[in-house]
A and B are shown apart, each in its own frame.
Chain A
């Protein structure tokens, strides 16, 4: 179906992966925790009162979005925050805000020009 195609395309896009990963509050908390320094699955499970399996699932999503990387140590595999995708997401939002601001600035000028023209036409 068409829907599936769109779905695939959306999840395929790196920024969509970032946004999807960030949509979950637990995953955001994990990132904030990791911003303070690396942590193991066990470290992360503790404050969230979650099973290791549940935390591992979240970590997999974050890893898939490139938001974290994990060490090679087979037993602990400590997690590191990777700021790259977050920067890209922030940049996108900042840019979008800028576009609308400039667009409305120009609409303002356009409306003024329309008004000037009308005033001229209706002037005696």
Chain B
């Protein structure tokens, strides 16, 4: 898995799965599959909380539940593109600034699929590692400065 940032300020995550595009696409868009993997570590996504309307303009909603605290994290997305098994994108209006996530499914021709996940509307200054490092060292300096006040 690679995790890079490009100049347009998008978070890009590239990943290769040992399954053909049709199956990976199906997993990403079918509640019965999503419930098995959508929630990150320590959270689960009950089937009842998943809505997939498989068409552009359709809803894509999930409800992640923290396994320990029961805290709920709703995601309310709307599909912009729904093009199996090639391309999928959805926007989340209630996320900061209206975030768009797009996933491209590339057929590697040997039964594997490369997915390229882009998230846009991420502030560019925070996305480039150099910028982040620069900012962090600035903060270290600033903390030192503040301590002298």
The interface of chain A, by Cβ under 8 A from chain B, is 6, 9-10, 13, 15-16, 18-20, 22-23, 28, 31-32, 35-37, 81, 83, 86, 89-90, 92-93, 96-115
How many positions in chain B have a CB within 8 Å of any CB in the partner chain?
A: 42
A111 touches which of B13, B17, B96, B97 (Cβ 8 Å): B17
Q: What chain B residues lie within 8 Å of A103 (beta carbons)? A: 37-40
Alpha-carbon gap, A83 to B136, bound state (A): 10
Q: What chain B residues lie within 8 Å of A81 (beta carbons)? A: 138, 142
Nearest-Cβ distance from residue A5 to partner chain B, whole angstroms? 11
The interface of chain B, by Cβ under 8 A from chain A, is 1, 3, 11, 13, 15, 17-19, 23-24, 27-28, 33, 36-41, 93-94, 96-98, 115, 117, 119, 121-127, 132, 134-135, 138-139, 141-142, 145
Alpha-carbon gap, A28 to B1, bound state (A): 30
Q: What chain B residues lie within 8 Å of A13 (beta carbons)? A: 96
Are A23 and B123 in contact, with the CB atoms below 8 A?
yes
Known contacts A36-B141, A97-B11, A103-B40, A10 near B135 by CB under 8 Å: no
* Pairs across A and B, CB under 8 Å, 14 listed: A16-B97, A32-B135, A35-B138, A35-B142, A36-B141, A83-B139, A97-B11, A99-B40, A101-B1, A106-B36, A107-B37, A109-B37, A110-B37, A113-B36
Alpha-carbon gap, A92 to B39, bound state (A): 17
Known contacts A98-B40, A107-B17, A110-B36, A35 near B3 by CB under 8 Å: no
Are B125 and A28 in contact, with the CB atoms below 8 A?
yes
A83 touches which of B3, B17, B115, B142 (Cβ 8 Å): B142
Number of A-B contacts (CB under 8 A): 105
Which of A15, A23, A31, A37 has its CB near the most chain B CB atoms (within 10 A)? A23
Are A97 and B123 in contact, with the CB atoms below 8 A?
no
For chain A, what secondary structure do more than half of its interface residues adopt (helix, strand, loop), or is it mixed? helix
B123 touches which of A37, A89, A110, A112 (Cβ 8 Å): A89
Nearest-Cβ distance from residue B74 to partner chain A, whole angstroms? 14
Are B23 and A36 in contact, with the CB atoms below 8 A?
no
Are B27 and A111 in contact, with the CB atoms below 8 A?
yes
Alpha-carbon gap, A100 to B115, bound state (A): 12
Alpha-carbon gap, A90 to B135, bound state (A): 11
Q: What chain A residues lie within 8 Å of B145 (beta carbons)? A: 37
